[in-house]
Amino acid sequence: MELEVEQFEETKKIQLEILLEFNRVCQKNNIHYNLYFGTMLGAVRHKGFIPWDDDIDVAMTRENYDKFLSLYSKNLKEDYFVQNYETDPSFFRPFTRIRKNGTIYKQFSYRDLDIHHGIFIDVFPFDSVYGNKKKEIIRYQYLNRLQHLNYIKHLSMAPDANIVKKGIQRVVDRAIPTLKFNRYITKVLTKRNNQNTGYLNHMTNNTPLYKYDKTVIKEEDFLNSVLWEFEGHKLPILKDYDKYLTQNYGNYMKLPPVDEQKPHHGIVEIKL
């Protein structure tokens, strides 16, 4: 069963600790990023975490993302583990998590994977896209199929899955070389990054095409940031935060119904 909101108060302190260490490395090396998604919403509406949120999201251009990954080993304190498919082979998602060593923050979906399960923040790369989503339909559909195959390969079928489904998983698991396949997905994600399209989007977390218009952003707006209060610290968010929070969430200053005010990562085990 998923844990209750009250059980996340201590994990938020550690997530903030990770964020501040990430921020230190980025400032030291002139790497641009923004608090994003629910974390940016929390900063604007609550000056910190959304009370029922259970993670921190940051976003950066692919160029800055690659720069961070190229130098973190010489900059990030040893208390933390930078997790992606290059450093933790069974973690198959095409983005990065920074986890605190010596902790557990286990998600139900990933509970059986042999990966680092520590308390984390998410680091998402944004890649170049066309402003018109009609030009991206084929690529999005292709990416969804690739990522679905990755799910089949890494996540066990339900115990009551029929023999056909279990057989498919075994075939996929044996036929697809893990590292090469993940690198190929990244190649598809970054296909337009040298085309100067002027727009960016988030595609590494199985973002469906119907959300395209909510998550697409002008590159110049993504790179134009201001410092904003988050849990007593000044951290970067979009300067035009109102435009993009409205685009993503509508009337974002209005709280959702009480029955929707709950964590969303399916955390089933915590160890501090």
Degrees to nearest 5, angle at CA 77 with 76 and 83: 60
List the chain pLDDT tens, one digit each, 272 residues: 567 677 889 999 999 999 999 999 999 999 999 999 999 999 999 999 999 999 999 999 999 999 999 999 999 999 999 999 999 999 999 999 999 999 999 999 999 899 999 999 999 999 999 999 999 999 999 999 898 888 888 876 666 667 877 777 777 778 888 999 999 999 999 999 999 999 999 999 777 888 899 999 999 999 999 999 999 999 999 999 999 999 999 999 999 999 999 998 999 999 99
Residue 230's pLDDT is what?
98
Domains of the chain, by residue range, sit at 5-271
Q: Note whether 181 and 150 are within 8 A (CB).
A: yes
Going from the C-alpha of 30 to that of each of 26, 27, 68, 96, 171, the distances in angstroms are: 6, 5, 10, 19, 45
Look at strands 104-107 and 120-129 and give their pairing: unpaired
SS3 state at 31: coil
Q: What is the dihedral of CA 66, 72, 73, 74, to 10 degrees?
A: 120
The whole-angstrom separation of Cα 174 and Cα 142 is: 21
Structural tokens at position 109:
């979906």
State which H helix or E strand residue 95 sits in.
none
Q: Please tell me whether the overall predicted TM-score, pTM, comes out greater than 0.85 for this model.
A: yes
